[in-house]
Structure 1
């Protein structure tokens, strides 16, 4: 690799993707400057625990950091927090901040992630104690507010993973929680009906009310009290409202600088944009997945971390190809859900219940090809599912549904 001592890499966004990219650059031998910019004022932190352990514990953010402050100093990585990047000038190879100062780059990485959707529901802007859950500030506000409420009636708008995880955590904190899902079932966009039914029942058993087919059309607020009103006329009292209906990709900087976007920032197999010196990484990227042979945008730590390794290697002169099977997880109550693969396009779903009666897995097939596996309290199914998908091994479906057949490759694969 040619010398990089006089070169500068700027990374916009200091969450999982941006921070990992910075440290991976040093591992790959980048000797030039590395500067990280982020609007969040806190030292970069882990996001997945926000809706789970961080929300329910008394631990401060210092227990949830991606890296210590000393780690950035040791690797000579500049950290600029609470700072907003206003624009990118591709011709001059500079970025401008809100205070109109500029910084020059040799290579630029956009790791701007996403922000929560606040739907245009009448009354939502004047509602009391209404929060999304995306940042440490959101969670701090939720924790502080829930402790001041007497009746603690919480309405969660949105029955996706974030909404359900938050509902479970707030229930643990003593709240009376109702989840309102607009679609006909929770998790409709990401999983099969059998999984929706399981998690709906899990929440009901733990005292959370889950209601489907509830389209919120109005929020009325009188003093400190909110009333959430749905299209069918049903009404719900809410001392606090949590909004978890999805995200917007932060691609405005890319759009303004004529970087190609398409359901995110379009990148190639090395996570490079249409500008040779500009990369994008993490939740904001729209990239080709070789295994499934289609473009995807993934909201996951796995994608952010793995993609950042590819970006760092590419910036340092290598030619890696991003080719990873996506995986995800969700913790709700004492249930651990591990997911691997992408189930979109499945034609058949097979549920395997283990003999212990406590763990099971759901296997998604497109004809005879295994696309994805959802494993509930079942690490073995997750591990072997990953192997089957990655190596494109064919599963004997008859044996798969039989819990007496061991969860082993040689037992379950077809000859």
Structure 2
């Protein structure tokens, strides 16, 4: 059931007596780690109050398509984009008919048309209504369009009849919802990722940095979320939007980054993709440095070593599975293997940044991963997004072997 961890589920509540089961369904989904928002039809609100579902879900219940406050920000479109799954329970005969016809005459049906998420229905109606040819035609049409159908079950009904038409119980529906998602390799894991460059001040105006764009680290954060992980992204100064469902912490210097990493412990996996400055000026000038005629054409800066973030985290008593990056311009695999051993890493990703097509600021990458047995696995050049997914899958498999 961990497949529901951090999944975004919109629960649509139609106007049937089975709406009372929706309250329990919200609880079951939340227990499995899902985020739940509720959308009700007007009929649904006649059977169970929006206040009840608001209290259980922890969020306002959405009902009106033409809500001026919500629609100022295109509320139904935002909801449609937010969802990983739209689960309509109960789905009445009327609601099934409107979905089959592609109507958009209330918020719920409009949302279904606007979403790219999986849509599932849990039918609930009188046994005669369920058997009616019109309902069965609508059922077949909805299934042919890819909608998932959970139930119905057979048994006694509120009207006194016995037969097919009962909505599945909340526990069964939560299981069905989980089956909509593949088992994700990092479900329930906390992954901490560093990305981008660091900046080390010389004076209030100048600093030392490098060419890292942070693109690889941000792609790794997206891939880890897709794999089901809870992701903390600690990044130096970059101009990239925060990936969806990622906790972002912005830092400047190497010491800032180390402090943020230590504060983010414990984690299950630490991926250090940031290009951290090895050295910093020993003294940061309080005012902008001026040209000194007595020094001729030069300026002498005394540098001191920065803390080694990767070695520090990998050396902790509660060390996570630790993955480093080696960005080199020569002797790539030799230097990477040495870094793997010296820093006590589980894996190291070696990048040839001398190649402009896969170096800093590029949109593509190619790399080799070295493990503790010094076995090397190569990943061919492709987009950084695809490389990130391949790396996260590789890391997850190795994590399972620990």
TM (norm. structure 2) is 0.23
Higher RCO (C-alpha 8 Å, min separation 6): 1
> Greater helix percent: which structure?
2
Q: TM-score, normalised by structure 1?
A: 0.22
Greater fraction strand: 1
